[in-house]
Structure 1
Amino acid sequence: MAKGLLLNGLEVLSGRPIPLVVLLSIITFILWSSILNTSSKKKYHLPNLVPGLPIIGNAHQIPSQDFCLHVEKLAKSYGGKMFTLKFGKTFWVFLNNTRDVNELLEKRAAKSSSRMDFPMAAGLMSNHKRMLLLPYGDLWRRERKVAHSILNVNQQNLFQPFQDVESKALLYNYLQDPSCWWKAHGSFSASVIMSVIFGRRAAIGDANTEAALKCSEQFEHYLEPGRAVVDVLPFLMKIPWLKNLQPWRWYGDAQYRRTLGVYRKEMDDLRERRRLGTQKPCFMSELLDSKQDAQFSEEELLFIGGAMIEAGTGTTRLSLHQCVAAAVACPDWPVRVRAQLDQVCGANAERLPDFNDATNLPLIKAAVKESFRWKPTVAETGVPHTLSEDDSYMGFTIPSGSIIVYNHWAIANSSSEYEQPDRFWPERFLNDDLDKPTKGHLGFGTGRRVCVGYNVGVSNMFIALARLLYCFEFEPVPSAPIDLSSPRLLRGSIEKAGFEVKIKVRSEAHRQLIERECRDVAL
């Protein structure tokens, strides 16, 4: 049945009979795949292999949206134990508790730190240049080193002036048009990272920044298994006679050109400002001055800058969305946080919170960590790790080349992992690990592939959330209750908010504070 559907689909796409050589290639692949699959089953003992079809495995079971809900259901059916899905030749092992995540992705990181060569996401859409999907090797280490040099904790003093300015602009944008709160989040997160990396700010509606965010959204969609037929049947990429008939190639190539164009424009504009003598100090300009860029091709250099934009915008923007939704859905915690803010900064809007207040605002720090845990909308099924050699665990044997992935949404919503997981409850993080940004949640990934910019993400969220909660209140829209059942519904898109909320300034004194402190820095 699967073979018939594949052949019929190819005939429809080509508009003419399939050439004999292609047909023979497909038949050969089917036979070879069946033999390989039988051999793998005999040699390896995979954890809870979910029944599927020959050749395509479980690809036909993938829902068109909300894949995370599908694998959460599977996690529950297996009692939180590991299970395995198969897509084409590749096994995907899903980890559904933090014990297994820590063992396989942290303690055994030497075996599980590489990435799968996704034909669509890594190949066609990125030309094997996106740092997120680079295999563990020389290029990844060189790019990671460059990124770490600007995003590590020792560079916080570099970021804080920009975070101060942009969080004030965020407040002013809220005050002027609270209905566009989600656009203000995007502008804040993008403008901080753009200021540091390229030396320019990004206002609401900035065309190139919005284009970058759209490219990132479309790319992330293909990190889930089975989203592209070529990921399930990668041999299709190797048949030259089909190159002009592959819609996945048309789409992937178009996305790659679009993404590269966005990053190239940023670099071209920076070089023009350098030529004119108007360029402000920034990371990319210093990289060019230091000649470190010589170790990278032009394309690699563009994707280094692009990777930082992606890392610096997505998590902050969507985590702020989460906090707004949580303030409406769980209205008790903002009351407690505001009481602490009023105690530190004054109940009558005497001054804005700042970074010097961090030690006196543990509830804000805890709320930031809770925003990375609660209802994750970034990599909700985890970013896939690839085994570089065979591994054995809990009586199972997993072959080299298998995907190991933390089931992010399922773990975050598991009552075995968190007390009252549906509740946004900052106090759960008031413990000895409060100041350890990656402890207690999987918002930044895990192991050697943990997000290199997590310190920037935490400080972004601290200053933005502290100031928003100090100055504004968030109320439900009775006719449009927030649906918390799906990350897709919470996330929304670049063009549209995922939910409705009523936002109002806390008092006239808070309004005057925003006007006084923030008007001059607004874009």
Structure 2
Amino acid sequence: MSTGTLEIIIVSLGLAIGISVYLALELPRLRQQWRLWSRRSELPPGPTTIKTGLRKPWIWFRELNQQYGDVVYLQMGPTPTIILGSAQAAWDLLEKRGAIYSSRPRFIMGGELLSGGMRGLMAPYSPFWRRWRKLLHSGFMQRQSETYRPIQSLESKVLMHDLLTNPKEFRTHLERYAASVIVTVTYGRRVEDVRTDEVVRMNAEAMGRLTSVNIPGKYAVERYPALKYIPSIFAPWKAEVLEQRKKDIQMYTGLMDDVKRRLAAGVLPDCFAKHLLEEQHNLGMSDLEVAYTAGTPFGAGVETSAGSLASFLLACVKFGDQFIPKAQAELDRVVGSDRLPSFEDLPSLPYVRAIVSETLRWRPVAVLGGTPHATTADDTYRGMFIPKGSTIIASLWSIHLNEKDFPEPHEFRPERFLEPRDYPGNFGHSAFGWGRRICPGMHLGLNSVSINIARILWGFNVQPAVDDKGQKIDVDIFAYSDGFNSSPLPFESSITPRSEKHADVIRREFKEVQKELERYRC
């Protein structure tokens, strides 16, 4: 056989193999496209063109819901995408039909390359996800979350003192509070300075990377999964996330090693990580699974609590004269002026609780409704065909600003939660998600937001800041960050004690908790 003939055979074999691999990868997608085309008349309505490169896609999604209705169809690359724009549609599908609407889309960048399939928040149905869900719910269900209230109360008293002594740095104080509660509840150690704590810094880096890669359509590998196997030397985008993955593993395993050390020394307070170690053998989890599971509340809980409280302060600056006097009258009647409000007071404070609900409704941090869901079977809803494998986005910006449920939705009106309303679920809003993917830390998060809103209203007057000429400085209630979670951009405010007596109570209670906080210092 001549050299030329051999070369032809090799090239032919290479082409045949390449075509075979291509067909193997593309046939499922082509079959899906044929199914969609054959039933295109049954699909939900939607635009014929897709906007790309949007910094705040939730704004466009709301425009689509207003134009096309509660269920909108988008063809984003090879994946059918459904945008839900009403609480009822989200409840009907994600809650009532949770058996087929509770999986996740495939996250190649964030879930596979960056996280090695270890983040339960992004995991599809699997034995791993069931173990993860069982552990998170056992660690943060309502009764268990009540055992964390003493920690939240202690840290809240620190927050009140921080706001009293340095009100201009309120955003830093909120972030320190949220970080310290989560880290203490999870690992049994406090965060005293959010700006210098190395663990907080590393977590912020990890979450920043995760949210930056979890943007639909940003990376070609999400559309063409075979690109995942390109060697890192030829794919800088892959090398970057794999390097971050090494850092994440080092952080999470290092935190668990410290937990084990303190447990062996008999100085570890009760915490979620301790619970995980006790359950690890029963569930057959590896050390790495346990480490990533412990990191779940740490990764997800800091920004949500701090962002919600920042939105509350923004609402105080913009609309405070409409609701703060009513709240303070209720607090004065129920609590008085000799002590801070407690968790035991909250059932007797319906107007304050309405302010909490309106805060979570008005500007949800998880503005896109959290991590998207995915369907595991074909379905029909109101005569519309929803294909298997669809990505489901229940955008809270659309749902919480739906005028049918919330008239004048950009107005901050706690009274709407004191009026009889026909809204699915128990909260009157949808901030914590739905069904099997509902936020496992919702009780912890709600407790943090509630106790701090009650105490801030009790102890402080929150008003617009004034400029050098004594003029009030207006704030922009639409100035929010981009990204997977959205929180207020920096704004100015005036936070002053209601009276010297209120300030004295804050100082006294801060002084009294110092000894109790010692057990959580490392």
Asked if TM exceeds 0.5, the reply is yes
CA contact (8 A) 2:480 2:486 kept: no
Provide closer, same or farther for how the CA distance between residues 375 and 312 of structure 1 changes in structure 2, counting only shifts above 3 A. closer
1:438 is displaced (CA, Å) by 5.1
Work out which of the residue numbers 59, 63, 71 in structure 1 matches 2:53.
63
1:229 is displaced (CA, Å) by 2.8
Is 1:519 paired with 2:511?
Answer: yes
CA contact (8 A) 1:369 1:437 kept: no
CA contact (8 A) 2:55 2:483 kept: no
CA distance in 2 between counterparts of 1:49 and 1:24 reads: 35
CA contact (8 A) 2:56 2:483 kept: no
Is 1:498 paired with 2:490?
Answer: yes
Secondary structure, aligned partner of 1:111: helix
Work out which of the residue numbers 340, 355, 359 in structure 2 matches 1:352.
340
Is 1:46 paired with 2:43?
Answer: yes
Superposition TM-score, scaled by structure 1 size? 0.86
1:414 is displaced (CA, Å) by 2.0
Provide closer, same or farther for how the CA distance between residues 437 and 510 of structure 1 changes in structure 2, counting only shifts above 3 A. farther
Structure 1 unpaired stretches of 5+: 1-18, 53-57
Secondary structure, aligned partner of 2:99: coil
Provide closer, same or farther for how the CA distance between residues 21 and 483 of structure 1 changes in structure 2, counting only shifts above 3 A. farther
- Correspondence for 1:72: 62
CA distance in 2 between counterparts of 1:307 and 1:32 reads: 33
- Correspondence for 2:203: 212
What letter matches 2:499 in structure 1?
S
CA distance in 2 between counterparts of 1:123 and 1:492 reads: 21
What letter matches 2:58 in structure 1?
C
CA distance in 2 between counterparts of 1:488 and 1:311 reads: 17
Counterparts in 2 of 1:247-262, with a 5 A limit?
247-262=236-251
Secondary structure, aligned partner of 1:330: helix
CA contact (8 A) 2:369 2:431 kept: no
- Correspondence for 1:323: 312
CA distance in 1 between counterparts of 2:352 and 2:209 reads: 32
Q: What do residues 123-147 of structure 1 show as CA deviations (whole Å, max 9, x unaligned)? A: 1222111111111232212111111
CA distance in 2 between counterparts of 1:41 and 1:217 reads: 38
Is 1:472 paired with 2:468?
Answer: no
CA distance in 1 between counterparts of 2:56 and 2:296 reads: 25
Structure 2 unpaired stretches of 5+: 1-13, 468-472, 518-522
- Correspondence for 1:9: none
CA distance in 2 between counterparts of 1:26 and 1:472 reads: 66
Work out which of the residue numbers 466, 473, 476 in structure 2 matches 1:483.
476
CA distance in 2 between counterparts of 1:197 and 1:467 reads: 24
1:404 is displaced (CA, Å) by 1.4
Counterparts in 2 of 1:111-510, with a 5 A limit?
111-205=100-194, 206-238=197-229, 240=230, 243-289=232-278, 292=281, 295-331=284-320, 332-346=322-336, 349-430=337-418, 439-477=427-465, 481-488=474-481, 498-510=490-502
What letter matches 1:254 in structure 2?
E
Secondary structure, aligned partner of 1:424: coil
CA distance in 2 between counterparts of 1:393 and 1:315 reads: 32
Provide closer, same or farther for how the CA distance between residues 292 and 453 of structure 1 changes in structure 2, counting only shifts above 3 A. farther
CA distance in 1 between counterparts of 2:173 and 2:32 reads: 52
Secondary structure, aligned partner of 1:473: strand
1:23 is displaced (CA, Å) by 9.7
Name which of structure 1's ranges 80-89 and 31-40 shifts more when overlaid on structure 2. Answer: 31-40
1:181 is displaced (CA, Å) by 1.0
CA distance in 1 between counterparts of 2:328 and 2:18 reads: 67
Provide closer, same or farther for how the CA distance between residues 413 and 509 of structure 1 changes in structure 2, counting only shifts above 3 A. same
Name which of structure 1's ranges 136-145 and 441-450 shifts more when overlaid on structure 2. Answer: 136-145
Superposition TM-score, scaled by structure 2 size? 0.86
CA RMSD of aligned residues (A): 3.0
Provide closer, same or farther for how the CA distance between residues 437 and 179 of structure 1 changes in structure 2, counting only shifts above 3 A. farther
1:221 is displaced (CA, Å) by 4.2
CA contact (8 A) 1:151 1:452 kept: yes
CA distance in 2 between counterparts of 1:437 and 1:168 reads: 32
Provide closer, same or farther for how the CA distance between residues 84 and 235 of structure 1 changes in structure 2, counting only shifts above 3 A. farther
1:374 is displaced (CA, Å) by 0.7
1:396 is displaced (CA, Å) by 1.7
What letter matches 1:400 in structure 2?
K
Secondary structure, aligned partner of 1:114: coil
CA distance in 1 between counterparts of 2:82 and 2:159 reads: 41
Q: What do residues 119-168 of structure 1 show as CA deviations (whole Å, max 9, x unaligned)? A: 11211222111111111232212111111112111124411111110110
1:383 is displaced (CA, Å) by 2.5
CA distance in 1 between counterparts of 2:20 and 2:211 reads: 31
CA distance in 1 between counterparts of 2:370 and 2:456 reads: 29
Q: Kindly tell me the number of residue pairs found equivalent between the two proteins.
A: 491
CA distance in 1 between counterparts of 2:94 and 2:171 reads: 34
